[in-house]
């Protein structure tokens, strides 16, 4: 029997909008997705706890056991970061691995099947491209040895790799988005951002019921991962920022300062996005050996951290330290510190360290926007707007960035997150429009006789 709404030549059972949910199969798939999300949340907790404990071992236990390191914190920083670079380079010599978040998301893109129809492609083309043990080693060497990167990128690679292997056993494909959403949902404690992000990196553009099914399973997986993560002991992960003096949270002045902070944040995030590829290309040209490149990147990271320790690690705790001790810093220092963080992040990514740009971008946005407090800007408003502007510009995904940042800031600062996000999106649209006009402009005709 033909569906009267189907296109000519398209059967009711094979159309692209026909959800394969008859006979309760979709409900059963939701149960499997919830179980998968819960399991991924537990694995995410184990990963973050392992990184936290390894950081403690490397940066606290080891210097206490070695007098030379304990008595020379700057030398310790340089040596440990360099050692991390050597370890990263050694693993990459065996097998090239993803580095930043964009490369990590490619582990999802291009795979067969989709969430509404996981059996659409033959099993033989479902692959697990990244070896898990080398990826885990590079992630540990990157994050635990002080690199200016967040854990979101290695989490995607490791979790998606695990689920691909499970998919091969279960003769299923299309679960990569669910697993990544569950991992990031655990990391960001239930924010809807991971689900929206995974919906954006899909391999096709389903419509109608299949789009609804796809979003439902991604949201369910993300929330299951977050709930599992929340019931386990805190592994040293994300905590909302606490402001000793939040300042004004309403009024024209507060919104004006928020727009200025959003602009500063957008400049910081846009600079990070534009710096990464040129710096990586320059480093690859100058140092073809990945071992040399990673080691030099670790050394540079160590030197930068010795000069300004706040640029080490992902920036979550360091941003809270900025907020807590804000009167101690000058506006010039805060601006330079934000730029220093951006440069450190690009250098370690160019050295093939594995990690994400979300947390470093947030730190840079907060640091640079807090410089406005010297002029009387409210601390909470500019920190929220600056973080949102930087994260939006760095990721190129304003809605995802706004949803992710809901976790970081108290409820009365949400409006300033929105202001920073809108400012960054507007600046990005204007710049892209200008670039598009430049690309489409006709070449100038040569002068006569030239």
Statement to judge: residues 226 and 280 lie in one domain: no
Identify the domain containing residue 45 by its residue range.
25-231
In a domain, 366, yes or no: yes
Picking from 268, 269, 249, the residue whose alpha carbon sits closest to that of residue 258 is: 249
The CATH code of the domain that includes 70 is 1.10.3080.10
Statement to judge: residues 130 and 267 lie in one domain: no
Distance from C-alpha of 287 to C-alpha of 293, rounded to nearest angstrom: 6
In a domain, 215, yes or no: yes
Q: What is the pLDDT along the chain (450 residues), one digit of tens a residue?
A: 444 444 444 444 444 444 444 435 777 777 777 777 788 888 888 888 899 899 999 999 888 888 777 778 899 999 999 999 999 999 988 777 888 888 877 766 544 444 444 444 333 333 445 677 888 899 999 999 999 999 888 888 888 777 777 666 554 555 666 777 777 777 776 566 666 676 666 555 555 556 677 777 777 777 777 777 777 776 655 678 999 888 877 888 899 999 999 999 999 999 999 999 999 999 999 999 999 999 999 999 999 999 999 999 998 889 999 999 999 999 999 999 999 999 999 999 999 999 999 999 999 999 999 999 999 999 999 999 999 999 999 988 888 888 888 888 988 899 999 999 999 999 988 877 655 555 555 544 444 443
In a domain, 111, yes or no: yes
Distance from C-alpha of 344 to C-alpha of 98, rounded to nearest angstrom: 18
In a domain, 45, yes or no: yes
pTM of the model: 0.82
Q: Could you say which DSSP state residue 150 is in? A: B
Coil, strand or helix at 26? helix
In a domain, 246, yes or no: no
Statement to judge: residues 184 and 259 lie in one domain: no
Residue 130 has a pLDDT of 66
Domain's final residue, options 202, 231, 260: 231
Statement to judge: residues 321 and 212 lie in one domain: no
Statement to judge: residues 75 and 137 lie in one domain: yes
In a domain, 43, yes or no: yes
Statement to judge: residues 395 and 296 lie in one domain: yes
Statement to judge: residues 168 and 205 lie in one domain: yes
Statement to judge: residues 388 and 284 lie in one domain: yes
Distance from C-alpha of 189 to C-alpha of 34, rounded to nearest angstrom: 16
Q: Taking a C-beta distance cutoff of 8 angstroms, is the pair 216, 30 a contact?
A: yes
Distance from C-alpha of 267 to C-alpha of 161, rounded to nearest angstrom: 34
In a domain, 90, yes or no: yes
Domain count, the chain: 2
Statement to judge: residues 257 and 227 lie in one domain: no
Q: Could you say which DSSP state residue 61 is in? A: I
Statement to judge: residues 132 and 266 lie in one domain: no
Q: Which residues pair with 117 in a beta bridge?
A: 114
Phi and psi angles of residue 407, each rounded to the nearest 5 degrees, phi first:
-70, -30
Residue 434 has a pLDDT of 59
In a domain, 347, yes or no: yes
Picking from 314, 7, 328, the residue whose alpha carbon sits closest to that of residue 151 is: 314
Statement to judge: residues 161 and 276 lie in one domain: no
Statement to judge: residues 213 and 305 lie in one domain: no
């Amino acid at each position: 029997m033909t569906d009267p709404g189907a296109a000519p030549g398209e059967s009711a059972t094979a159309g692209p909008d026909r959800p394969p949910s008859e006979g309760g199969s979709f409900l059963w798939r939701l149960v499997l997705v919830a179980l998968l999300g819960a399991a991924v949340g537990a694995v995410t907790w184990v990963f973050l706890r392992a990184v936290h404990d390894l950081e403690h071992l490397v940066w606290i236990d080891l210097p206490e056991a070695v007098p030379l390191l304990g008595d020379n914190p700057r030398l310790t920083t340089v040596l440990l970061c360099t050692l991390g670079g050597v370890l990263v380079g050694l693993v990459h010599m065996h097998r090239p691995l993803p580095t930043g978040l964009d490369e990590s998301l490619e582990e999802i893109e291009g795979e067969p099947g989709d969430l509404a129809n996981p059996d659409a492609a033959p099993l033989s083309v479902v692959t697990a491209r990244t070896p898990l043990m080398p990826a885990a080693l590079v992630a540990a060497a990157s994050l635990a040895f002080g690199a200016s990167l967040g854990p979101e990128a290695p989490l995607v690679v490791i979790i998606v790799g695990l689920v691909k292997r499970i998919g091969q056993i279960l003769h299923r494909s299309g679960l990569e988005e669910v697993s990544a959403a569950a991992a990031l949902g655990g990391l960001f404690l239930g924010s809807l951002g991971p689900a929206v992000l995974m919906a954006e990196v899909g391999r096709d553009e389903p419509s109608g019921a299949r789009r609804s099914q796809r979003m439902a399973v991604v949201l369910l997986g993300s929330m299951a991962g977050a709930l599992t993560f929340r019931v386990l002991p805190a592994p040293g992960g994300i905590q909302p920022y606490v402001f000793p003096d939040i300042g004004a949270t309403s009024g024209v002045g507060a919104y004006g300062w928020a727009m200025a902070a959003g602009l500063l944040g957008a400049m910081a995030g846009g600079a990070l996005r534009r710096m990464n590829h040129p710096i990586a290309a320059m480093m690859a040209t100058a140092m073809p050996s990945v071992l040399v490149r990673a080691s030099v990147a670790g050394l540079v990271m160590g030197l930068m951290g010795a000069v300004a320790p706040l640029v080490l690690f992902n920036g979550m705790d360091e941003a809270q330290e900025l907020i807590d001790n804000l009167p101690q810093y000058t506006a010039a220092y805060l601006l330079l510190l934000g730029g220093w963080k951006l440069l450190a992040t690009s250098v370690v990514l160019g050295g093939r360290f594995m990690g994400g740009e979300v947390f470093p971008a947030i730190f840079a946005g907060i640091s640079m926007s807090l410089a406005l407090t010297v002029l009387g800007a409210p601390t909470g408003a500019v920190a929220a707007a600056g973080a949102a502007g930087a994260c939006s510009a760095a990721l190129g995904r304003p809605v995802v960035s706004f949803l992710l940042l809901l976790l970081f800031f108290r409820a009365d600062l949400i409006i300033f997150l929105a202001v920073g996000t809108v400012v960054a999106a507007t600046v990005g649209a204007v710049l892209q429009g200008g670039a598009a006009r430049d690309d489409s402009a006709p070449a100038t005709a040569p002068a006569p006789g030239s």
